[in-house]
């Protein structure tokens, strides 16, 4: 196959909120970007893949309040879970970061200082919901109510959560609004915020949308209609504490406000590359990728994020006017429904990324999600359909063909790919069709139609299976080994092709097959353009391979899922019990003020210090308490020399009962801070008379 010139790509996906574990619909965005990046790499392009956890914003704050922990703690709890899940799912990022890092914060503030200087922000006074019960302003997701368009109850203040609606909303548009935290009705209160002057970019955005081919056909008309109806200025700052401070951009008056989360999350596509370049000690890589107009940027998102990536993000790049290329492709997926219902953690509807890999290997899920990727309309997850696709496509078609081919060669041809003899008309036709399928696969991937690409791979394997069954080499080998050899040679060639085409979708399986075929180079070194139908692979030594997949039963996987959920619930109960026990012990260990008054704390000066022989820890001290002198034995020998202690003032518990340590009486105890086992002696801020009481 003919190679073409190398191109440069930045692939990214919508940054998942870290307010919970991602469900399959969210994880599909991360998986899609991985598949696209891997494809670009086997095509020989220069591609990096970046994203990260969206640690700021109201969803994180709301979830943190429900768990009773600070937003930062909750954000990094789920960020670390996502990092683990990425490994389990074999999703390979060049840089998966988070928005609460210095590189991102500095980049965002610097970016918007330029936009502000360019004159695209304006200050407006507005009325915003305020909760008198919680004593705070309520940004969008802190307000819930009934959608004015579809009358769905539980709509958020920024967007209707009904998949059939999804309208962008203002909190004040909700019917019967209430505070999401305390459920009380809010009041309107005046506040000042900065707004991005989006209407100024209507013409540029219209031209961009019309001229960009890789914007989903079902999204273009909606975005153009929004422009036709007239864009409105978008609020840029929020009355929140958790987020990127707005003060450095807009002045001290706004030091207690933060940036609207969408305004900083979309800039993560740039800052993540900058952070990676810094980590690589090659800061010039940032401009190499993001300041080159030829760089193609690809965004894998859900349909509810179209407005942010087709209108708002491009407008920001236009506003900063700093040489960044506009989006090349928006690869949008529709929603995955679960048995006709939207995913809901609280209602137990759906499947989450950690659950999926707990019950089946990641390759099953990667293949299924790409094969059924909802590119044009919402899809519906059903266990019966999932089992059918796994059993029919993965096991019976792809896995069966590859295993039959390799097993037959290792068993009947001494583990070497046999020579290719004279081809029949049907065999020539088969190889020609496979070549056409490879071109169709490339075309589908180039147009980000991942679902079509997965279907093409399955069809190639299906043709291979049909060919094997028709040629029946297990029979022909008895009469004509050369004919059987040709059958297996062609099958081995198709297996090689499958290994390459499957690598973006199920890389771990692909690499097993590649290794079994005896290739010394990595798949990435060979690439898709190394495929040559005429290269027969004859005499190439191969290795036996175990079955790649196994059939599944719907009842079995549902049972495994329920067992996993029960186990997690039990672990959660144990953690909650442990937390309650710890809190109870803390309460039990608390003393009242009268009890504390019984402890006599006094200032003393060390007048003598002597090491106790045969002890690694103990020093004998003589201390002056003002009205008397006492002997105290202290376990500080490993950290203080006796001569260093003489003359130092210390704090002593003066009314302890005497105790004997290695035969020496101790009449009191000195106080020390404990840092990882190292004692740090406490002393007054300035010299005071010995015997001075501590209150």
Q: What is the mean pLDDT of the chain?
A: 94
Beta bridge partners of 487: none
Q: For residue 503, how many other CB atoms are within 10 A of its CB?
A: 25
What pLDDT was estimated at residue 347?
62
Q: State yes or no: pLDDT of 1 exceeds 80.
A: no
What pLDDT was estimated at residue 434?
98
Q: pLDDT per residue over 409-437, tens digit each?
A: 999 999 999 999 999 999 999 999 999 99
User: What is the pLDDT averaged over residues 270-281?
Assistant: 98
Q: Which CATH class name applies to 596-681?
A: mainly beta
Q: pLDDT per residue over 505-516, tens digit each?
A: 999 999 999 999
User: What is the pLDDT averaged over residues 233-253?
Assistant: 94
pTM: 0.83
Residue 636's alpha-carbon distances to 19, 654, 670, in angstroms, are 46, 18, 10
What is the chain's alpha carbon radius of gyration, rounded to the nearest angstrom?
Answer: 34
What pLDDT was estimated at residue 588?
82
Domain-by-domain residue ranges, the chain? 8-109+261-359, 121-205+218-247, 382-530, 596-681
What pLDDT was estimated at residue 670?
93
Burial pattern 182-200, b for ≥16 Cβ within 10 A else e, equals: eeeebeeeebebbbbbbeb
Measured CA to CA, the distance from residue 212 to residue 199 in angstroms comes to: 20
Q: pLDDT per residue over 603-636, tens digit each?
A: 999 999 999 988 989 999 999 999 999 999 999 9
Measured CA to CA, the distance from residue 8 to residue 288 in angstroms comes to: 9
Which architecture characterizes domain 121-205+218-247 according to CATH? Beta Complex (2.170)
Q: pLDDT per residue over 140-188, tens digit each?
A: 888 999 999 999 998 988 888 887 787 888 899 999 999 988 999 999 9
Angle at 626 between CA 621 and CA 632, to 5 degrees: 20
Q: State yes or no: pLDDT of 402 exceeds 90.
A: yes
Choices 3.30.70.20, 3.40.50.620, 1.10.10.10, 3.30.950.10: CATH for 8-109+261-359: 3.40.50.620
Q: What percent of the chain has pLDDT over 90?
A: 82
Which architecture characterizes domain 382-530 according to CATH? Orthogonal Bundle (1.10)
User: What is the pLDDT averaged over residues 234-253?
Assistant: 94
Q: pLDDT per residue over 536-584, tens digit each?
A: 999 999 999 999 999 999 999 999 999 999 998 888 788 878 878 877 8
Between helices 481-502 and 425-446, what is the axis angle to 10°? 0
User: What is the pLDDT averaged over residues 19-46?
Assistant: 96
Q: pLDDT per residue over 456-511, tens digit each?
A: 999 999 999 999 999 999 999 999 999 999 999 999 999 999 999 999 999 999 99
For tokens 């399955």, name the residue: 458
Q: State yes or no: pLDDT of 205 exceeds 90.
A: yes
- N-term to C-term CA, the chain: 85
């Amino acid at each position: 196959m003919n190679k073409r010139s190398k191109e440069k790509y930045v692939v990214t996906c919508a940054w998942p909120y870290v307010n919970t574990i991602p469900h399959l619909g969210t994880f599909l965005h991360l998986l899609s970007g991985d598949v696209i990046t891997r494809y670009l790499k086997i095509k020989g392009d220069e591609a990096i893949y970046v994203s990260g956890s969206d640690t700021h914003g109201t969803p994180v704050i709301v979830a943190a309040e429900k768990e009773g922990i600070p937003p930062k703690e909750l954000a990094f709890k789920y960020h670390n879970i996502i990092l683990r899940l990425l490994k389990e799912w074999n999703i390979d990022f060049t840089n998966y970061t988070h928005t609460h890092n210095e590189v991102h914060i500095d980049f965002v503030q610097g970016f918007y200082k330029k936009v502000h200087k360019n004159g695209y922000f304006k200050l407006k006074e507005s009325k915003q919901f305020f909760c008198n019960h919680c004593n705070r302003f309520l940004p969008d997701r802190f307000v819930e109510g009934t959608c004015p368009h579809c009358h769905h109850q539980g709509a958020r203040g920024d967007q209707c959560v009904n998949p059939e609606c999804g309208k962008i909303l203002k909190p004040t548009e909700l019917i019967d609004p209430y505070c999401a935290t305390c459920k009380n009705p809010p009041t309107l209160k005046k506040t000042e915020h900065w707004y991005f002057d989006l209407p100024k970019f209507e013409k540029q955005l219209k031209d961009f949308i019309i001229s960009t081919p890789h914007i989903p056909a079902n999204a273009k008309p909606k975005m153009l209609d929004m422009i036709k109806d007239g864009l409105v200025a978008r609020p840029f700052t929020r009355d929140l504490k958790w987020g990127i401070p707005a003060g450095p951009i807009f002045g001290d008056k706004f030091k207690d406000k933060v940036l609207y989360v969408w305004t900083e999350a979309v800039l993560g596509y740039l800052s993540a590359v900058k952070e990676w370049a810094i980590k690589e000690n090659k800061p010039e890589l940032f401009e190499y990728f993001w300041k080159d107009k030829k760089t193609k940027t690809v965004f894998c998102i859900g349909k509810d994020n179209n407005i942010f990536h087709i209108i708002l993000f491009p407008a920001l790049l236009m506003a900063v006017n700093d040489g960044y290329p506009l989006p090349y492709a928006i690869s949008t997926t529709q929603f995955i429904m679960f048995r006709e219902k939207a995913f809901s953690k609280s209602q137990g509807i759906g499947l989450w990324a950690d659950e999926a890999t707990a019950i089946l290997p990641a390759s099953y899920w990667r293949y299924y999600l790409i094969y059924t990727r909802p590119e044009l309309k919402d899809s519906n997850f059903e266990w019966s359909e999932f089992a059918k696709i796994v059993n029919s496509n993965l096991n019976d078609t792809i896995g069966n063909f590859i295993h039959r081919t390799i097993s037959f060669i290792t068993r009947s041809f001494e583990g070497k790919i046999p020579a290719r003899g004279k081809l029949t008309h049907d065999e020539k036709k088969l190889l020609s069709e496979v070549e056409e399928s490879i071109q169709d696969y490339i075309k589908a991937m180039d147009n980000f139609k991942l679902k079509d690409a997965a279907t093409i791979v399955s069809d190639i394997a299906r043709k291979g299976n049909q060919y094997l069954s028709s040629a029946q080499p297990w029979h022909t080998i008895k009469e004509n080994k050369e004919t059987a050899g040709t059958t297996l040679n062609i099958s081995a060639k198709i297996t090689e092709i499958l290994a390459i085409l499957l690598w973006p979708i199920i890389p771990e399986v692909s690499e097993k097959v590649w290794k079994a075929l005896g290739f010394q180079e990595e798949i990435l070194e060979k690439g898709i353009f190394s495929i040559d139908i005429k290269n027969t692979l004859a005499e190439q030594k191969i290795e036996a391979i175990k079955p790649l997949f196994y059939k599944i039963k719907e009842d079995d996987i549902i049972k495994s899922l329920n067992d996993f959920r029960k186990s997690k619930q039990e672990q959660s109960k144990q953690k909650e019990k442990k937390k309650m026990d710890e809190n109870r012990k803390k309460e039990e260990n608390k003393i009242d003020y009268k009890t504390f008054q019984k402890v006599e704390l006094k200032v003393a000066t060390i007048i003598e210090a002597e090491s106790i022989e045969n002890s690694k820890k103990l020093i004998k001290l003589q201390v002056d308490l003002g009205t008397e002198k006492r002997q105290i034995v202290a376990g500080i020998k490993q950290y203080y020399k006796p001569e260093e202690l003489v003359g130092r003032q210390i704090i002593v518990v003066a009314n302890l009962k005497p105790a004997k340590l290695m035969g020496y009486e101790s009449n009191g105890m000195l106080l020390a801070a404990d840092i990882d086992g190292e004692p740090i002696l406490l002393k007054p801020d300035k010299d005071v008379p010995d015997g001075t009481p501590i209150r």
